[in-house]
Structure formats: C-alpha cells, structure tokens
A and B are shown apart, each in its own frame.
Chain A
C-alpha cells in the first residue's frame, strides 16, 4: 500500500508514474480492441456469408490462441524488435478467436424472420445490415468484446518484457527489484482497470439492448 499511496509515484512530471502507466495500459488495450475488431468484423461477416470459410478461419484463430504468450513475444522480437508492435500483434491475434466466434454467433442468432421482413419492406443489403442485423447482434458482440478487453488487460502486462511500458512495468520492476509492495500495487491497479472497463462495457451493452431484444446474462 505504501507504494500505491506514495506521492512520488503519482508525479505527473515523471512519464513512468502510475497515471502514465495507467494511460499506457488503456492505450494498448484500446488499440488492440480497435484493430482486433477491424479485422474480426469483416472476417466474421465473410464466414457468415460463406460458410465454407468457417472451419479454416476458426481453426486458424484457435491455433493462434494456443501459442504460449512468452513464445509468441520471443518470436515477435526477432521481427519487430523492442517496439509496440511486438506486444500488439500477439494481443490482436489472441483477441481474434473470441471476437470472430462471437460475431459469427451473434449474427447467426438474428431471427431470420426479421431479416426477411426487412427485405420484404424494401431494405437494400446495406440497410438490412445497418438497421436489422447489426443492432440485433451488437449486444451479443459486446459480450465478446468484454471478454477480450479483460484478457487483453491481463496479457498486456507482459509488455515491459519486450520494451513497452504500462501497468505491467510495476510488476516487472517489483520482481527485479524485489519490491513486493510494487507488485501488489501493479496487481491492484490492473485488476481495478479490468473491472472498470468490464463495467463500462456492461453499460454499453445495456444501452445497445434497446427494447430488451436479447436476454443478457
């Protein structure tokens, strides 16, 4: 607790103080989700459209997910060195399996009657996706994003091992300097971040679930 409460660690002129590490952590998580979704959305829609792609896509995503994170990071160092990409690429890769699987399931769960009604009323394919499929699938998709956000926040703590600082730096330093209070501070902050992000996303999910179309857990 003394580490967590020490004013020096909250010094805004120091770029490695807790507030900055916090922002760094948020940044890498946000970036992972953003790029991850940019990849997962079109991929998932292709899988829904062309069922044949389902097996190869899901298999590849699952395979990526099984690579041990330390091995993945070591491999990435040989390509991207000690840059942001070294931690970012594995995080995005790990996110795919949950994101794709979730988007596919969410889109498939949309009541075909509603899609048919939209078509019968004269919606063009874009309007059908934008006005019917997406709004009905989003609450479920956000459930997947919640899972990915929390795991990303966790795995990102390995960042300091490959040259990217974030809240994981507290744990990394704590281990090397033998300062338990710093490890505990890091753990508390990371958990707090994960819980906060998760709760925020629950709020987003509630907002998206207008009219209570999906029974949320």
Chain B
C-alpha cells in the first residue's frame, strides 16, 4: 500500500528551452490504478521514470507514503517498485524462472528461497510453471513474455507498479486479454499502479483515475466518466472522445440517468452498471424501465427516455454526476 504524490514537479532536460514536465501536482491514492494519457512528448514517460529515480526532477518533489523519494537510497527504492515496459526487457540469457526472481536474487535471496514464489507468480500471470520455468525468453510469444515481465515486476512484492505502455506492442486481441488479466491480478494484489498509455480506451478500461497530459502540463485528472462528462478543454474533449455517444454509453454509469421509481416490480440493474448495459437490457427485455439497485435497495429507475436525456444529440452531457442524490430524495 502506498500513496504517490507529485508536488509541483518540473523536469527540464539539459539544453531544452521548455520543460518536459512543468509544475505537475497530483496524488495517486493507495491501491489505485492511475493512467497517464497524452500524445507523444506530453511528458508521461518522464513523469513515470521520475518515480523510480531513473530521472530526477529539476524541481518539485515526489512522495511515496508522505516520504520524499530523494530521502531514500535509489537502489533500495527501485527494489520496492515494480517496473514493466513495452519492450518487456527480459534478460535473454536467463530462464523464465531466473528472470522472475531477479529482484529477490539481487537482494540476496537464494534460488531455493524463491522457488515457491516464482511458481506462485507464474500461476498468477497464467503461465503453468512446470511448462515455462526452464524456458528462455526467446521461446515465448510476445504476450507470454509480457506476462513474465509482469511476474518479474511483482516478484519482490512491491507496493508500487510502474507500467510504461506495457501492452503497446501486442496485437489487439492479446492486448485485450492482458488488460483483463491485469484487472484480475490487481483485484488480488491491490498495488498502486502508474500506467502510461496513449490509448484512451485502455486508460478508461483500466484506470480508477486518468491523468491527461499535454506538452508537460497536467490538463485534467479524474475518473474516466468525469473526463467524458466535463472535459476541461477541447484537447481533452477530443482526446477522450467526449463527443462520442457510444463511448459515453460505455463509461457513464446508470446513476446519471435516474428518475423516480414508477414500477418497483420491474427488472433491476446494479448501480455500478454503465448506460450501455442498461440500454442493452432495456432493448433486449422489452421492459420500459429498469430499477437501479444499490446494496439491494432501489435508488431510482432508468428508461430509454431518461438515458436519451442524458446523452443529447449534440453530444454534450446534460446530466450531473451527483444527480442521484437529488432523485432519491424526491423518490
């Protein structure tokens, strides 16, 4: 468990007139997946690499659990942070097992001590240990290699995981599968994850929080839905595809389209569901309304009309994030 805090972080590379990252401040709560999104040169990778001190900021500070990382020995710090990159970077001269246990091994643990841990991690990332343990990276597919990369990053049970476009080089099907796997693993391990991507779909799918960066500046931070509902400017609007009605259906929750319950006996849908799920259920079941249920209690209902009101034709978002409370008080 670890909270990561960026406080007024600026990085100017030698010879550059403007900073790669300028005055960026935000906090990633412990156990959250925070996605850094932006175009090339937005500073997202620079930001990531400052957390394990591959790069040091020109000014400002980064804190993990309230402690400035500069107060810690960089080598000890890096051992407590998992690192996964697009090129995977498995050591070709080491077997899969040896690759996975690199960090425990440089910390002085013997192969015997880590045997159980290696098998456990390979199981976790979906590679049967008996089959993969003694293979070399070259003998694995790209997707399998990145699974090993993930296992390796988790080996010393770090509190923080840094991922730099880890699935960027994989084909669409493998990428989707790996995203699902990461979500599955994360529910078990609950790491604080900083994840760089230029793929907004990926950011929305994986992120608890999404940080939008442009030319070194933090433009907006929020939950995927918040970026869709109220993009800070045209750049964010365009980047997240806020005008894309389908995307809104996909990432805006049903609780934004609530109206008072008229038919308490109707079909139900969970309050955490997105508009798309509600829409499909309405269409498929032929019901005219769905009761939205949270913890067994109805909080309101959605209808085709209420959803339509939320998503207006011009794409602008009509609803408000907190509308749910108002509706329940009326109901």
| Contact surface of A with B, Cβ cutoff 8 Å | 113-114, 116-124, 127, 131-132, 135-136, 209-213
Contact = CB atoms under 8 A, between A and B. Distances in A.
A31 to B, nearest CB: 30
Given A118-B91, A121-B102, 4 more contacts: A119-B54, A122-B106, A132-B91, A135-B93
A178 B226 CA distance: 98
Contacts of A124: 75, 106
Given A117-B85, A212-B92, A123 B54 contact: no
B268 to A, nearest CB: 48
A121 B77 CA distance: 9
A131 B83 contact: no
A119 B78 contact: yes
Nearest to A123: B106
**How many residues of B sit at the interface, in one of the four size bands?**
20 to 34
B92 A120 contact: no
Contacts of A135: 93
Nearest to A121: B103
Interface in B112-132: none
B95 interface: yes
B79 A114 contact: no
A48 B52 CA distance: 26
Interface string B256-269: 00000000000000
B78 A121 contact: yes
A119 B93 CA distance: 17
B314 to A, nearest CB: 46
Contacts of B78: 119-122
Given A121-B83, A131-B106, A211-B95, A113 B75 contact: no
Contact of B103 (A116, A122, A210): A122
Given A119-B54, A122-B75, A212 B102 contact: no
A120 B52 contact: yes
B239 to A, nearest CB: 28
A121 B158 CA distance: 11
B104 to A, nearest CB: 11
Interface string B81-96: 0010101010111110
Interface of B: 52, 54, 75-79, 83, 85, 87, 89, 91-95, 102-103, 106-107, 136-138, 152
A46 to B, nearest CB: 24
29 contacts: A113-B87, A114-B89, A114-B92, A116-B54, A117-B83, A117-B85, A119-B54, A120-B52, A120-B83, A121-B79, A121-B102, A121-B103, A121-B152, A122-B76, A122-B78, A122-B106, A123-B106, A124-B75, A132-B91, A136-B91, A136-B93, A210-B94, A211-B92, A211-B93, A211-B95, A211-B136, A211-B138, A212-B92, A213-B138
The interface centre, meaning the residue of B85, B91, B107, B152 with most chain A CB atoms within 10 A of its CB, is B91
A213 B139 CA distance: 11
A150 B138 CA distance: 33
Given A122-B78, A211-B136, A127 B91 contact: no
A118 B99 CA distance: 11
A109 to B, nearest CB: 13
A121 B79 CA distance: 6
The interface centre, meaning the residue of B79, B95, B103, B106 with most chain A CB atoms within 10 A of its CB, is B106
A213 B93 CA distance: 6
B97 to A, nearest CB: 12
A113 B92 CA distance: 12
A116 to B, nearest CB: 7
Contacts of A114: 89, 91-92
A212 B85 CA distance: 22
Contacts of A117: 83, 85, 89, 91
Contact of A113 (B77, B89, B95): B89
The interface centre, meaning the residue of A117, A124, A127, A209 with most chain B CB atoms within 10 A of its CB, is A117
A138 B173 CA distance: 38
A118 B85 CA distance: 12
Contacts of B76: 122
Contacts of B103: 121-122
A130 to B, nearest CB: 10
Contacts of B52: 120
A210 B91 CA distance: 11
A81 B159 CA distance: 67
